[in-house]
Structure 1
Amino acid sequence: MAALNVNGTPLECCCTKPMTGFFRDGFCRTAEEDQGYHLVCAIVTRQFLEFSRRRGNDLITPRPELRFPGLKPGDRWCLHILRWREAYEAGVAPPNELWIT
């Protein structure tokens, strides 16, 4: 069965450069193993990236050993749904589309 978004239409790719998603296939979809529920496709902002780093999740620093180039403002990334909510409550949530299976 194809993954669907909240509108019931086929899930669209969030980003492949950099490659994102729990399955690192570009789609914000999940599975039981994904304890973070990476379902929010967001366009990250400087404010969000700094917020996330302060919360212990540094998405800015490249991690070549994980094939992670680091994010910069304007990149699209699948976010943990609760982290997006935290950022929203702090007034720094990045623009998004909620895509779920």
Structure 2
Amino acid sequence: MKEKPKNVLGTELQSCCFDPLTGFYRDGFCQTSDEDLGTHIVCAVMTDEFLKYSKSKGNDLSTPIPEWHFPGLKAGDKWCLCILRWLEAEESGIAPNIVLEATHEKALEYTDFEVLLEFKY
């Protein structure tokens, strides 16, 4: 039996969001694999400020893309973000809060737990 993925707290990875359906695999979880080149492992709670920031960086998360079954995100939605984009936003002072229970343990390979804890939702 395959071991269940863990979160940054060392417990079983919880779902991030089913509506809108998030995750690299669109299964509601911030799971990852070698196929996930963006490493979508941070369960973040969107803010208007972050959505504008992401759009300015070339990743428009607020505009719906119906052919991809993507509704477009709004403030308050939870979404599995790429760890590097989240860290970039953190350095810019506009990182959204995160759900630790739904953030994959792989995030600890990129930043310290204390940094993540500062943004606990």
The alignment's TM-score, normalised by the length of structure 2, stands at 0.81
Confirm or deny that 1:100 pairs with 2:94: no
Confirm or deny that 1:90 pairs with 2:92: yes
Cα distance in 2, alignment partners of residues 70 and 5 from structure 1: 26
- Percent of aligned positions that are identical: 56
5+ long unaligned stretches in structure 1:
none
Pick the aligned partner of 2:14 from 12, 15, 19. 12
Pick the aligned partner of 1:47 from 46, 49, 59. 49
TM superposition outliers: structure 1 runs of 4+ over 3 Å? none
The alignment's TM-score, normalised by the length of structure 1, stands at 0.96
Kindly provide the amino acid, as one letter, of the partner of residue 56 in structure 1.
G
Size of the aligned set, in residue pairs, is 101
> 1:56-67 to 2 correspondence within 5 Å?
56-67=58-69
1:100 CA drift (Å) = 1.5
Contact map agreement 2:41 2:104 (CA 8 A) in 1: yes
Kindly provide the amino acid, as one letter, of the partner of residue 45 in structure 2.
I
> 1:17-28 to 2 correspondence within 5 Å?
17-28=19-30
Q: Greater strand percent: which structure? A: 1
Cα distance in 2, alignment partners of residues 58 and 7 from structure 1: 30
1:97 CA drift (Å) = 3.0
Q: Greater helix percent: which structure? A: 2
Q: Secondary structure at the match of 1:15?
A: coil
Q: Secondary structure at the match of 1:96?
A: coil
